[in-house]
Structure 1
């Protein structure tokens, strides 16, 4: 037996080729498990990180090697087998076996589903036309970069969420004409609310992006098999050489559903990442994980969760006692704006928004308060405060909104005291 309590002759299998999968493998080894570990990666690549695909890798400011979680030699050093280009097609919890797309099969003692999510596809007319792009994989990022880097193209982006706005920033950086079509009244309204959404609205307009809020798309039109424009419900046709669809993602739960696991907005797992079958775990974008602080399941599609939850899931598989309670975190880079966000987005609806700093000049920290307690915080072009923001959230410190908004009052002093 290993120090963590898992027999070293066991075979632990990870399905997925992203950050959660690679982090889980590291967690398994870090917990002292000495048995066999296999990753069924799906794509032909070693496991890689997805945020750079819409940020620095898409803009050409980062090398391809920078997107990989570990260098190739790490897997051999850790005695971890990586099946690249192999996809899992079926899972049997009864026989503890995983069927591969090529007809092969592998037995497992414990298995982690880190199958991630896929881009939500545009379902209207013209979806199949050439020049229509989605962005989830390294191949899709490279194909899009090849189009954008030529410059002088008319780029229409359907969707004003994080992916849509990051692609808009990259496309403008290459010298393209960019139009963003969003369904909401402001960009990112669902994610951060209208006040913060208007900060991003102003940012993109100041950088030459044609933002069309409250827009509905009825069709992508084309000629000769290639997209030439996007038709709006109001009748206007916006000419396009490149169309990018960024309308969200869907968790890849098909294996879990077919195997009879409990699925509800992702694969339902406990705080130790165990699914409804005790030998099958899930982590990353696909997992709806019970969060002990919130006392409810939480599914998060961000890289920090994939990294941290993946590692913790690996430890759990190796026999270590785990109760995952990390605060969700993500970041974005658009034009000259850098942002970090920490907190529980599901608690921000109807919460009090408190701004510390200069909203107009895009240098501020935003806080969302419920019952005078910080449940989320976002720092925009203000650095070295994220740890303090997380500490306020984690400590459930009762704060005065006026003091929280006052830059002269340090966040650390707020941590030390509560409302009398």
Structure 2
């Protein structure tokens, strides 16, 4: 097998940065190209909906690495400011700015893009929160004292609401589902977290949808399905994201809610791997395909995909326990595993508790609220396929220690 001479990584994301760095650390000495749709250097996304919004002065972009480090120390050919628009897996070329870019190995790390409300683009003051430019616009509006409506009571929307309330601003969160976060963490725990909004002065409206936005060039009112009209200077839409795969049309790759990969993150085309929010891979630990929009998995997948790409004969499977965290109103929320199973059991009080998810006789997931010392312990149990009884023992020990 001829060693690869050129690695192209499409997506200047966390997964993309970790991929180019891992390739060099693995001893790859060939040409490395990193393609990014945005003009900005690769940056960290979690702060954008947290500390970035709360800053009183314009904060610096949370870049992972300087351009000098990427170009000179890692020897990366940076191609920023133009997205990839096509992939030819036979000719092994990626089209960028209308020009084919050849590759021997390719890592797709194009991430996901935020869903938008139909017709929302005609009014100023309506934003999603996915990019650095999004965060800057939302922060400026909050700093100006905007009356804020958040559409979607998921983690991003709730973090925006928390940031607005920290500034003392009026906030209403509109959620179409009867229970927030029911799909992400289940109805029981979703209800428990929803109480944080009321406790901190945020108005939460569940079971209603947005039917229209009104204003003279700029949003002024949000119309709801129950006839309510909410005054607003800022509307932040947090109704989920979809993987960025449109540019892969005609490539022959299998795409189904993301780029479908095997356990090594290899796609259906030779020499092509995927990592991060765009990858839907077979996770041996849970015996199913998963697509995760989590910081930790994106970082891990970027490393594994690049190592496997530059040394396919030594390719290793990627097996992980999903992990994510969120901060609302000074409350740390952490989740490990998957929120699926036949039983959920909670331990602790309203503002400091753990919820365990059972799948048969196995621990499948754990939600920890203000219990950071337990989170990684539960992750370790899930990783080694621990039984339900062992999970309950840890919960009992944690309850005793908290007294």
Match of 2:360 among 367, 371, 376: 371
Residues 1:306 and 1:36: Cα distance change in structure 2 (over 3 Å): same
C-alpha separation in 1, matches of 2:10 and 2:53: 26
Whether contact under 8 Å (1:367, 1:377) holds in the other structure is yes
C-alpha separation in 2, matches of 1:306 and 1:175: 34
Structure 1 residue ranges without an equivalent (≥5): 412-420
Match of 2:75 among 74, 79, 86: 79
> Is 1:265 aligned to residue 261 of structure 2?
no
Whether contact under 8 Å (1:6, 1:318) holds in the other structure is no
Question: 1:352: which partner in 2?
Answer: 343
Aligned-residue Cα RMSD (Å) equals: 2.0
Question: 1:280: which partner in 2?
Answer: 272
> Is 1:229 aligned to residue 221 of structure 2?
yes
Match of 1:203 among 196, 209, 217: 196
Shift of 1:64: 4.6
Residues 1:84 and 1:164: Cα distance change in structure 2 (over 3 Å): same
C-alpha separation in 2, matches of 1:404 and 1:355: 13
Residues 1:6 and 1:192: Cα distance change in structure 2 (over 3 Å): farther
Shift of 1:12: 0.4
C-alpha separation in 2, matches of 1:301 and 1:334: 19
Shift of 1:46: 1.4
Whether contact under 8 Å (2:56, 2:143) holds in the other structure is no
Q: Secondary structure at the match of 2:249?
A: helix
Shift of 1:322: 1.6
Match of 1:138 among 132, 139, 144: 132
Over residues 67-125 of structure 1, what are the superposed CA-to-partner deviations in whole Å (9 max), with x where a residue is unaligned?
Answer: 22223332120111111112212111111111112x323111111111111001111x4
Q: Secondary structure at the match of 1:227?
A: coil
Structure 2 residue ranges without an equivalent (≥5): none
> Is 1:177 aligned to residue 170 of structure 2?
yes
> Is 1:239 aligned to residue 239 of structure 2?
no
> Is 1:111 aligned to residue 112 of structure 2?
no
C-alpha separation in 2, matches of 1:7 and 1:118: 34
Match of 2:185 among 162, 173, 192: 192
Whether contact under 8 Å (1:127, 1:220) holds in the other structure is no
Over residues 130-152 of structure 1, what are the superposed CA-to-partner deviations in whole Å (9 max), with x where a residue is unaligned?
Answer: 1111111000000110000122x
* Pairing 1:284-363 to 2, within 5 Å after superposition: 284-319=276-311, 320-345=314-339, 348=340, 350-358=341-349, 360=350, 362-363=351-352
> Is 1:161 aligned to residue 154 of structure 2?
yes
C-alpha separation in 2, matches of 1:178 and 1:249: 22
Match of 1:91 among 87, 90, 100: 87
C-alpha separation in 2, matches of 1:277 and 1:20: 20
Match of 1:406 among 381, 391, 396: 396
Question: 1:417: which partner in 2?
Answer: none
Whether contact under 8 Å (1:113, 1:282) holds in the other structure is yes
Question: 1:25: which partner in 2?
Answer: 20
Whether contact under 8 Å (1:179, 1:210) holds in the other structure is yes
Whether contact under 8 Å (2:149, 2:234) holds in the other structure is yes
Whether contact under 8 Å (1:354, 1:404) holds in the other structure is no
C-alpha separation in 1, matches of 2:82 and 2:196: 42
C-alpha separation in 2, matches of 1:382 and 1:6: 50
Shift of 1:395: 1.7
Shift of 1:398: 1.8
Question: 1:254: which partner in 2?
Answer: 246
C-alpha separation in 2, matches of 1:375 and 1:402: 13
Residues 1:166 and 1:408: Cα distance change in structure 2 (over 3 Å): closer
